[in-house]
Amino acid sequence: MKPSSTPSWKLIGPGVLVAATGVGAGDLATATFTGVHLGCAVLWAVLVGAVLKYVLNEGLTRWQLVTGTTLLEGVLAHLGSVARWTFLVYLIVWSYLVAMALMSACGAAAYAIYPIVDHASRGKVLYGALHSLLAVVLIGAGGYRLFELVMRVCIGLMFVTVICTATLLAPNPSEILMGMFVPRIPQFYDGGLAWTIALLGGVGGTVTILCYGYWIREEHRQSVDDLPLCRLDLAIGYAMTALFGLAMVIIGSRIGQLDATGVTLIIEVANLLEARLASGGPAAKWAFLAGAWGAVFSSLLGVWQSVPYLFADYWSQWRSGGKRSTAVSSRSLLYKSYLLLIATVPISGLIFFHFRTAMKINGMIGAMFIPMLTTALLILNGSRRWMGTEYRNSWSTNALLILTLIVSVVAGGMQIASSW
């Protein structure tokens, strides 16, 4: 454990980063539209989804602290060439699509706050590119500590404004409690099941789950003695993620039908808040826009800072034939190269790709990751040879991983089917 003199807010740093990075434009949209269609009855799905993502992240953390290698290193070393090539192709495609979507979301949120050009489409491209380059400067100039500080500011802005908005709009407390603790699915055969599964699978990010392992290395957590602290850290992070998801479902349940799709959702929700609140409507509108900007920019910044670790880790492991023993660094050429690529190449998508088409492809790609991660954790963490008797998966962890696998496969199947 860390010394008692270490400030408590520092001890839970990586968990806050998980919450900030995992909540993006897609999570915001899914939770809001689910609230519009099903109301507060499915709030329980947010809580279940957060628990399942906690189980995944605890598993990869346990692997890393027990074996001294990241989960990606474990996959590359033990699961064969098919896993190696699948991950590389997946990472490149995912990076392009998610980076494009995050730039687009940041551009839309910033344009809604301060339109500097005549057309929203041009404003989205301009602001999206500026946010991307700003993220590169923050990461390159200030390193991990400045990144962590900016993320804390963004997530504070995000949670305060979104939760306050949900509080202003909230229905009777009994309706919220019923939705959280009495599981049911309204309109089961009329889209209710699909929305609920999407909500379950959409809480807490996908590929960015892997990045927690690199952030705890930045905090010098390297042995199993740090596992209890990491578990507490992750619990706080996913509690924050769940609170955000609950708030967005509540907001969606109270603002009525939405015509927006994609990034324009942020603008329409803000306008509806202004119209629905008799007093303080304009203030609520601008506060929500600020919070939404904090949500999407923190997600963009988190992806820019963390995903290059994955590429650098993969490439170094491949070139060394699995014998590399030194941890990847944010100062390495591989890291910096991938950071520049992810920050610049996807700008082309803002110009040439329709956002809705890109998000359909992104949805299909994203639907594949959680089943792959869950399968890897079942195999690697279930092994007594690699994890020992004390730290391998318990029967309850395996049960939750199998539930996660089932939910993610069903959610992915529905996502792919709806995208055709």
d(CA 299, CA 233): 19
Query: Looking at the domain assignment, is residue 253 inside a domain?
Result: yes
CB neighbour list of residue 316: distance below 8 Å, 6 or more residues apart: 324, 328, 334
d(CA 268, CA 266): 6
| pLDDT number for residue 45 | 92
Query: Looking at the domain assignment, is residue 92 inside a domain?
Result: yes
| pLDDT number for residue 4 | 43
d(CA 175, CA 148): 37
Query: Looking at the domain assignment, is residue 2 inside a domain?
Result: no
Query: Looking at the domain assignment, is residue 292 inside a domain?
Result: yes
- CB-CB contact of 233 with 15 (8 Å): yes
Query: Looking at the domain assignment, is residue 391 inside a domain?
Result: yes
- CB-CB contact of 199 with 32 (8 Å): no
Q: How confident is the model at residue 227 (pLDDT cuts 50, 70, 90)?
A: very high
CB neighbour list of residue 390: distance below 8 Å, 6 or more residues apart: none
Query: Looking at the domain assignment, is residue 135 inside a domain?
Result: yes
The total domain count for the chain is 1
| pLDDT number for residue 380 | 95
Query: Where residue 304 sits, what CATH number does that domain have?
Result: 1.20.1740.10
| pLDDT number for residue 2 | 45
d(CA 244, CA 129): 27
| pLDDT number for residue 61 | 96
Query: Looking at the domain assignment, is residue 1 inside a domain?
Result: no
For residue 74, the enclosing domain spans: 8-419
d(CA 397, CA 338): 35
Mean confidence (pLDDT) of the chain: 83
d(CA 269, CA 258): 8
Q: How confident is the model at residue 157 (pLDDT cuts 50, 70, 90)?
A: confident
d(CA 261, CA 264): 6
Query: Looking at the domain assignment, is residue 126 inside a domain?
Result: yes
Model confidence at 357: pLDDT above 80: no
Tens-digit pLDDT profile for residues 12-59:
678 888 888 877 666 777 788 888 889 899 999 999 999 999 999 999
The angle, 0 to 180 degrees and rounded to 10, between the axes of the packed helices 43-67 and 384-391 is 110
> Where do we find the tokens 């995050």?
102
